[in-house]
Structure 1
Amino acid sequence: MRIAVVRETREGEARVALVPELVGRLTALGYDVDVEPGAGRRALISDDEYVDAGAGIDPDALAGADLVLAVQPLTAEQVRRLRDGATTVSFLPAAQDPGLVADLRDVGATAFSMELVPRISRAQGMDALSSQALVAGYRCAVVAAGMLRRFFPLNMTAAGTVPPAEVVVLGAGVAGLQAIATARRLGAVVRAYDVRPAAAEEIRSMGAQAIELDLPALEGAGGYAREMTEERATRQRQLLAPYVAAADALITTAAVPGRTAPVLVSAAMVEAMRPGSVVVDLAADSGGNVEGVVAGEVVRIGNAQVWGGRNVAAQMPGPASRLYAQNVVALVTLMTVDGALAPDLGDEILAGCCVTREGRIEHEATRLLVEGA
């Protein structure tokens, strides 16, 4: 059976779905691996490295593949080139492109979505959302440090003492905790907030101070935060306002999977920040946590520069690709039996992330979105 690793074509995408050091894991399972020319170039991986690892380089790898590995969803043109009965593994945000899901259904492809992998202990090695959030959280803290025109750490010198920067992080999931840890390693004083009560202990474990507000908790399934009412959101913004105003750098990372990001910070709150302040919004791609943010741009609100993250993990394509590839190989291993691709939808992991199969949409929420009731 043949695996194809495609070259990503979507704007801003520099990652690749498989790295050379993991090719041997797939060939050991019985697969032949073909890589499209230049697939790893933007992640600083050459075609020769794939060949040395045992893969082939084939410009038409997609057409003959039993299994296609990608980071971003395949394009409509790529879907039309799939052979009958092919399987795809990639991120596949149905809400952004329901037409593509319909195309995968109509060509009879079996499509697995990496963002739908269930958040259970057995699936941790396949959790691409977490692995990419780790990269993005690190990146956004480094961006904040680079944009802020002052030191992050305390400096005590013969010429005087320079106090540390004050950093506030909103959202303490994987990305937020990594942003906290990175800002702390750089020497900043960090305060952080999350609507989930369990997050306060995690925040403190990173050496930061947990911001505690007199509000009810909002923890949903799988450890994610639930959406909040507008009344609660308004009250939360009021209580967070003084912490935001006192920050030299604000980093926001809050997201609800499959939904528009909650607005945690109003433009008025940003306008109250000191001159030279920096805001980094990791959720800008999904609408943003900060009112007025623009994904992929730096805008000025009051005296603050506001950086809107766009596909942030891809800004560090080397480590992001290696982590994502580990997730993909773990998932492929689960669906391989005796050297053949044989996904068992009786397994809760595979059932949870299967979007289309044999001409139908398997994932219920996606089916309702594409086909209606």
Structure 2
Amino acid sequence: MRLGIASLVAGYVLSQFYRAFLAVLAPVLEAELGATKADLASASGYWFLAFGAMQIPVGIALDRIGPRRTAAFCLLIGAGGAALFAMAGSPFVIKVAMALIGVGCSPVLMASYYIFARQFSPAVFGTLAGMVIGIGSLGNIAASLPLTAAAEAFGWRETVWALAGITALIAAAVAVLVRDPVRVATPEGPKDSVLTLLKMPAIWPILAMMLVCYAPPGGLRGLWLGPYFTDVWGYSRPEVGMAGLWMGIAMVIGSFAIGPMDRWLGTRKWVIFGGNAAMLCFITALWLAPQQSALFSTLMFVGVGLFGSTFPIVIAHARAFFPPHLVGRGVTLVNLFGIASVGIAQHVTGYLFAATPAQPAPAAPFAAVFAFFAITTAVGLAIYLLSQDRTD
């Protein structure tokens, strides 16, 4: 089972990589394929929307056929998407490829969480969930300076072809190494479904928090970091990679730190609220002072990455309300809210960016993007105050 979980974690490293690598490839895709920033925002959004759209069927598949076949099959689709990306000749093909990669990545984290929920104590779920996010965030780091170096040395198409091969190998490893937990018997009576979960009033404020907790770090690291530092501060591709590296490292540290905090402090609600309130401060600073200095902006992005790492503990908070036979559908439902919101946000911010004049201040369109993330985070925090705290 340890090797099986390791293979799923390797798949999640790829998932984190794919959601972030457009920020580094943006300049070359603009130059070679004529992609606009709105095109790239849409492409990033399609990854998240496809990923989110898969969460309900993935949840059903986890409960009915198990994580092994679910994750292996989808990862093969992701490998095909990466191959299509490597052959892309237009922004449209990039968008289709990103959607297929999103489908491929959609089950790997939830497959791990399903195994944790079924085979480990509920008290350590948050710690294990944070550990997977922390290790997986190494993909964020790989999608920064290492990706820049590989693209410079071998070419971006050759690099993405190699990623397609790695994705196919990990799919094979999942198929061979993962062991499905014993299925839970479904209770007698009417069939339960996702609607059963949505009838629980306790999870709605948590879902509101999930809508906003990952959108800022996911959206900024996944796309906007690259264009922002290129257009506003004149960064080269290696310098953009370095800025992404620092934010990626902050996300790794934050994910490892946040996991056990609910046990240390005896609360999930206030750990989540405090982390996202701090993230809101950093986003607001970017909104109000987008041209302060390159160092200031880098530190603000790092702060968003560090404190915007509450994703696993928000899932742990919701998971505490789910019955055992609906764990698969429960964790994927929460994940749907977290991932789909990033896809929607990328489309909205792409339109905001395109609609905001860049003269006389080149940072103005980016300030509009930062404002969107700040305002939505503040609304989510206000709703989350109504949530019921629960620890295991």
Task: Mark yes or no: TM-score above 0.5.
Answer: no
Q: Which TM-score band (shorter chain)?
A: under 0.3
Considering fraction of residues, name the structure with more helix: 2
Larger relative contact order (CA 8 Å, sep ≥ 6): 2
More strand by share: 1
Normalising by the residue count of structure 2, what TM-score does the alignment of the two structures yield? 0.24
Q: With the length of structure 1 as denominator, give the TM-score of the two structures.
A: 0.24
